[in-house]
Each structure stands twice: as C-alpha cells, then as structure tokens.
Amino acid sequence: MEKFSTHTGVGAPLRRSNVDTDQIIPAVWLKKVTRDGFEEGLFSAWRSDPDFVLNRDAYKDATVLVAGPDFGTGSSREHAVWALQNYGFKAVISSRFGDIFRGNSGKAGLLAAQVDEKVVQRLWDYLDDNPGASITLDLESRTVKAGEGVDAIEDSFTIDDYTRWRLLEGLDDVGITLSHEDDIVAYESTRPSFKPVTL
C-alpha cells in the first residue's frame, strides 16, 4: 500500500446523505474478479444526469469527495472503495461513514476523514462558490483546510490512531498480523474441541 501523509486536490461536493455502497458501485459491476476497472461504474446511475457533480467540468479532476452523513452504508463490497480510487479519489470527507466502508478504506489506502457536519456544510458552500477549488488533508496533524484569508476553512478530522499509523507507513495489514503468528498458534492450542470444523 502507498504511504499517505498529506493530499491536496480538487474537492467535489456530493450533496447527498445516505450514499450507500449500491449507489457508489451497483451490483452489476461486482462480477469482475480484479481490483481495477471500476471507475466506469462509480455512481453509475447518477452519472447519466449531466448535472451530476462529477459531470461538471470544474470537478472532472476531483480527488477529494465531500459527502453528506452516512456515506458508504449498506453492502460490505470493497469494490466501492476501489471504484472511488480507480476514478482518482484519494479521500472522502463525511460526518459519518458506514463502518465496513470505513474499515475497507483504511485497508485499501483511501482516506475516510470524519468531520463535524458543520464542516461538511462549509466545504460544500465553499466548493459551490469556488468550483474546482482544492482541499488539503493532512493526516499527520489530522486537519482539513480549504480557502484562504478570512473565509479560510481549517478544522480537524477524526480517524483512529491505528489506521492513521498504517496509512502513514503504508503497511500491509496481513504482514503485521503474521509477525504475531506465535500468538495465533498459542490461541489455537486453547480452542475447545466442541467448536465446529468444515473439513
């Protein structure tokens, strides 16, 4: 996984709440057996609308998505994270994420930055007033910044310590766990015999 420390990129305001993972990538796209090529399916139902935010010129190079509360609810499909990444997104900002989506983002290297709902509203307004403007996310200091001068937005975002550390270091989760294999072996020796097996 690539290291993530700070990112500055065009912000896209997605003025919707409850964006479930079926909206991010519909099931018909889940038949692929690779991790790439999902960008076409990203928000595919909404992208047929010419007014959809990602169809507007100002946002075509967007890398930071700013969404309403409960982003990434529903299905566990990690394809939703891959679709966002394949499209070019490096980070999603929301006031509340679906648990599984947030976990998947951390594993796959997409920053899911949780902010206060008021910050989302301010970023939306700022991006609407300044189409194509950038947002900066600094993972080291857990801050989000946009704009300059008196109207500048600067606030903190939350992400758990462990995910932050892994993203900063670009570490492979499986590798970390396998370094504790002794603990797994020790645990396995204590499992009761009544636990079921499949073979």
Partner 1 sequence: MGKTLAEKIWEEHVVRRHEGEPDLLYIDLHLIHEVTSPQAFDGLRLSGRAVRRPDLTLATEDHNIPTTDLDKPIADLVSRTQVETLRRNCEEFGVRLHPMGDIDQGIVHVVGPQLGLTQPGMTIVCGDSHTSTHGAFGSIAFGIGTSEVEHVLATQSLSQAKPKMMAVEVVGELPVGSTAKDLILALITQETTGGGQGYIVEYRGEAIRALSMEARMTICNMSIEWGAKAGLIAPDQTTYDYLQGRPSAPTGADWDAAVAHWDSLVTDDDAEFDKVITIDASTITPFVTWGTNPGQGVALSGNVPDPASFEDDNERVAAENALRYMGLEAGTPMKDIKVDTVFIGSCTNGRIEDLRVAASLIEGHKVADDTRILVVPGSVRVRLQAEEEGLDVIFKDAGAEWRGAGCSMCLGMNPDQLTPGERSASTSNRNFEGRQGKGGRTHLVSPDVAVATGILGHLAGPADLAELEKAGA
**Chain residues that interact with partner 1, rule: CB under 8 A:** 15-18, 20, 22-23, 26-28, 30-35, 45, 68-70, 73-79, 81, 96, 98-100, 103-104, 107-108, 160-162, 173-174, 176-178, 180-181, 183-184, 187-188, 191-199
Contact criterion met (CB below 8 Å) for 156 and 144: yes
User: What six digits make up the tokens of 75?
Assistant: 């299905």
Closest distance to partner 1 from the beta carbon of 101 (Å): 8
CA 186 to chain centroid, in Å, comes to 35
Our CB check for partner 1 shows the closer of 63 and 104 to be 104
Task: Give the Cα separation of 58 and 51 in Å (integer).
Answer: 12
Closest distance to partner 1 from the beta carbon of 195 (Å): 6
Helix, strand, or coil (residue 171): coil
Our CB check for partner 1 shows the closer of 22 and 138 to be 22
Residue 61: left (phi > 0), alpha (psi -120 to 50), or beta? alpha
Closest distance to partner 1 from the beta carbon of 151 (Å): 22
